[in-house]
Amino acid sequence: MKKFFTILLAVFALNSAFAQNKNITLEDIWKNGTFASKGISGLTSMKDGLHYSTLKNDTIFCYEYAKTSKPEIIISKNNLVSGGKNIGIDNYEFSEDENKILIATNTEHIYRHSTREDYYIFDRKTKQLSPLTSGEKQQYANFSGDGNKVAFVRANNIFIKDLVSGKETQVTKDGLQNNIINGATDWVHEEEFAFSVAYFWSPDNKKIAYYKFDESKVKEFSFNEFNNQLYPSEYKFKYPKAGEDNSIVTIHVYDIISATDKLMDIGKETNQYIPRIKWTADANVLSILRMNRHQDKLDLLFANAGSGESKIIYSETSETYLDIHEGQGDYVYFTSDNKNFIIQSEKDGFNHLYLYDITGKLVNQITKGNWDVMSYKGIDEKNKTLFYISSETTAAEKDIYSIKMDGTGKKKISALKGVNNPDFSNGMKYYINHYSSANTPEFITINSADGKQIRILEDNDNLTKKMGEFNLSKKEFFTFKTTENIELNAWMIKPVNFDANKKYPVFLVFYGGPGSNMVINNFDSRNYFWYQMLSEKGYMIVCVDNRGTMFRGTAFKKCTYKQLGKLEVADQIEAAKYLGTLPYVDKARIGTFGWSYGGYLSSLCITKGADYFKTAIAVAPVTNWRYYDNIYTERFMQLPQENASGYDDNSPINYVDKLKGKYLLIHGSGDDNVHYQNTMEMVNALVKANKQFDLFVYPDRNHGISGGNTRLHLYTKMTDFILNNL
């Protein structure tokens, strides 16, 4: 701990020594790796909860949590030879007895979460490495609990490989590209419910529960792929836009012993969502979360795996919407004694944890208060203690707390002010904490469950020293109140060698969409150094979290319901007005930048808010919610057939006639998420209104616009635009 604070003080001291320091270049950030930080890859807690494994240079190491000792090498490069060929390790999984390792290699990314790869099995006893199967790449291979079988998805079908007999069984046979998917998700469920593996082994290893997506009625979206070909190819995939047909989802249980498939009863309605399924501690009972299309009603079903019959155990409704998102951890957790379950809910106005008995009767509310549980991390059932991440201190920070199942004994166990992201051991006795703050790179430690630091794993001391060689300005947090008396959280980076008697231009950055925060007390890596580079050139960088963002309760988060863009852009205009009152701000030189939802807001700022902004950069923006996917859009807007004005009243396309400042529009032509169509429609509207603007398109790049020199080129273009126009 002492070493950490010494490093922290050194950063602040070095940040003040501007005269002797160097300036940051874009090559430092995006090409040379000057500011690369170190982390830990492949972190996995071993079964005993006393050891953990990591992955480095295609070698898996095993360490003790409690003390520093020489690591055991579980598998090294020398073991990674199959058929005379060397393979690498992209990911790995241990069998339950840890005698076998499932290795993923040659990983090919498909969309945000989905991948396909080649899998191998390494036997730790025989030191033999063998391919899982032959033929085309596989997806989502997983051991059965007893380690004797591996299930995987290939060509939209589920297969089971028996590792003892070598027999391979094809569970489903109707899988077909852009038609039927078994054991994996369609595009929109992957993106908006944040899961891609769609099958699950039962606790007794005798059954597999799985999703089947029938996307035959979902309309296709297509775009050209150029790839330096004489004739571009066409990529087609099923993408349901707002108001359009979804996949029909069914839930099945395959019995391995009898080789029979049973359909689970999820109701007669097919125009609905199944965002999660999960086995209870009872190997014959599958839990199923069911939501209606409006996403304002949720049911927890218990289905009998043998008969398929189901019953509702828990229900919840909302006047706006119910939110199941990626970062919250287990939405439902079942205790191992099968007597209780823990569920997350915002029903009292904040996201909290509730304890129910297995029949659905409320036992008690575990967490309470005017703050949100950001993420549920797990439970020590022996000591009846839960661990979670909380916004109790502030929405800008993440603190680790423990609490008893009955709601007593709440303790804040993280000590450092900033963002704490723990990886707990099996049994919850230890955790590896990934900590950072706004001006401090990631600091990784091993801690006991009470928060006591055992040792430092990575302090990024080299990066901290490197930062001391450059002109850096401290990121500072502040709040301000709008004319509606709404307090908004924000941060700023003042120009290097700041002089309060001068006036500076402001570069206002934001994302601003539901389920997000950008005003966070963590280290923002490459963006941090780009902002620092701009501060060296005399710009003040400011970020404001508008209404609709996370961890300030449901009233703040859900007030944008049915009118996305209206209150968000009003708040960013309020930010410009407030900044304009500061004596060191040039209110005639305020520019905006946003990506995706942020690009949508930036486009609104330069059009609807044209009187307050001189420039705007919009990267991969939504320009009309009619063009975006239905699960996300309808959650906040209902269907366009029901809320046409909500879709159109805050589309920047309808405000292009107000454009006065400089506008840079950037998109990747291969964006499967926010389609290039959004930018093309914005271009048509701007041309029709005879408004000049700048446009740049990155061929075949997806929503992240990356690869090779792409990011260096992109940030050079944006930097030049700022220097020339703001």
**pLDDT tens-digit profile of 504-549?**
999 999 999 998 999 999 999 889 999 999 999 999 999 999 999 9
Q: What residue has token string 């792929």?
A: 225
Q: Which amino acid is at 671?
A: D
- The CA-atom distances, in angstroms, between 461 and each of 2, 160, 242, 466 are 14, 47, 48, 9
Angstrom distance (rounded) from CA 193 to CA 189: 5
Q: Where in the chain is the domain with CATH 2.120.10.30?
A: 325-437+440-459
Residue 400 phi, psi dihedral angles, 5° rounding: -95, 130
CA 174 to chain centre: 31
Return the CATH fold of 325-437+440-459: Neuraminidase (2.120.10)
**For residue 198, what pLDDT band results from cuts at 50, 70 and 90?**
very high
Residue 183 phi, psi dihedral angles, 5° rounding: 80, 0
Q: Which amino acid is at 146?
A: D
573 Cβ partners below 8 Å, 6+ apart?
605, 609, 612
CA 426 to chain centre: 23
**What pLDDT shows up at residue 96?**
95
Whether pLDDT at 143 is above 60: yes
Q: Which amino acid is at 70?
A: K
| 279-283 long-range contacts, CB within 8 A, separation 24+ | 279/200, 279/201, 279/202, 279/203, 279/209, 280/334, 280/338, 280/341, 280/358, 281/203, 281/334, 281/335, 281/336, 281/337, 281/338, 282/203, 282/338, 283/202, 283/203, 283/204, 283/206, 283/207
What single-letter DSSP state applies at residue 34? T
Q: Which amino acid is at 17?
A: A
**What pLDDT shows up at residue 507?**
98
CA dihedral 641, 646, 647, 653 (to 10 degrees): 150
Report CA Rg, the chain: 26
**What pLDDT shows up at residue 515?**
83
**For residue 83, what pLDDT band results from cuts at 50, 70 and 90?**
confident
The secondary structure element, H or E, covering residue 213 is: strand 207-214
Question: What is the SS3 string spanning 221-249?
Answer: EEEEECCCCCCCEEEEEECCECCCCCCEE
**What pLDDT shows up at residue 7?**
45
Here the tokens at position 575 are 């930010």
What's the CATH number for 171-321? 2.140.10.30
Whether pLDDT at 11 is above 60: no
Q: What is the mean pLDDT of residues 117-121?
A: 96
**What pLDDT shows up at residue 20?**
61
Whether pLDDT at 230 is above 60: yes
**For residue 328, what pLDDT band results from cuts at 50, 70 and 90?**
confident
Please say whether the beta carbons of 630 and 545 come within 8 A: no
Tell me the per-residue pLDDT of 542-580, one tens digit each, with 9 for 90 and over: 999 999 999 999 999 999 999 999 999 999 999 999 999
- Picking from 701, 632, 704, 646, the residue whose alpha carbon sits closest to that of residue 239 is 632
Q: What mean pLDDT value characterizes the chain? A: 95
Q: Which amino acid is at 482?
A: T
Here the tokens at position 671 are 């964006």
Residue 645 phi, psi dihedral angles, 5° rounding: -65, -35
Classify 378 in phi/psi space as left (phi over 0), alpha (psi -120 to 50) or beta.
left
**For residue 9, what pLDDT band results from cuts at 50, 70 and 90?**
very low
b/e code 202-236 from CB counts within 10 Å (16+ = b): bbebbbbbbbbbbbeebeebebbeeeeeeeeeeee
Tell me the per-residue pLDDT of 240-285, one tens digit each, with 9 for 90 and over: 999 999 999 999 999 999 999 999 999 999 999 999 999 999 999 9
The pTM for the full model equals: 0.94
The residue count for the chain: 726
**For residue 69, what pLDDT band results from cuts at 50, 70 and 90?**
confident
% of the chain with per-residue pLDDT over 90: 93
Whether pLDDT at 8 is above 60: no
Q: Where in the chain is the domain with CATH 3.40.50.1820?
A: 474-654
Q: Where in the chain is the domain with CATH 2.140.10.30?
A: 171-321
Q: Are strands 385-390 and 373-380 parallel, antiparallel or unpaired?
A: antiparallel
Angstrom distance (rounded) from CA 477 to CA 487: 13
Residue 611 phi, psi dihedral angles, 5° rounding: -75, -10
Query: Which is more confidently placed, 458 or 82?
Result: 458
CATH superfamily, with its number, for domain 474-654: Alpha/Beta hydrolase fold, catalytic domain (3.40.50.1820)
% of the chain with per-residue pLDDT over 70: 97
Partner residues linked to 85 by β-bridges: 82
Q: Which ranges in 412-536 belong to alpha helices (H)?
A: 461-467, 525-536
The secondary structure element, H or E, covering residue 484 is: none
Angstrom distance (rounded) from CA 572 to CA 569: 5
**What pLDDT shows up at residue 13?**
45
**What pLDDT shows up at residue 82?**
85
Please say whether the beta carbons of 587 and 542 come within 8 A: no
- The CA-atom distances, in angstroms, between 717 and each of 625, 664, 668 are 27, 10, 14
Angstrom distance (rounded) from CA 661 to CA 576: 15
Partner residues linked to 717 by β-bridges: none
Angstrom distance (rounded) from CA 378 to CA 426: 10
Q: What is the mean pLDDT of residues 350-365?
A: 97
Classify 690 in phi/psi space as left (phi over 0), alpha (psi -120 to 50) or beta.
left
**What pLDDT shows up at residue 85?**
86
Tell me the per-residue pLDDT of 15-64, one tens digit each, with 9 for 90 and over: 444 446 899 999 999 999 999 999 999 999 999 999 999 999 999 999 99
Whether pLDDT at 344 is above 60: yes
| 228-237 long-range contacts, CB within 8 A, separation 24+ | 235/670, 236/178, 237/178, 237/187, 237/672
Burial class of residue 681, CB neighbours in 10 A (0-12, 13-18, 19+):
middle
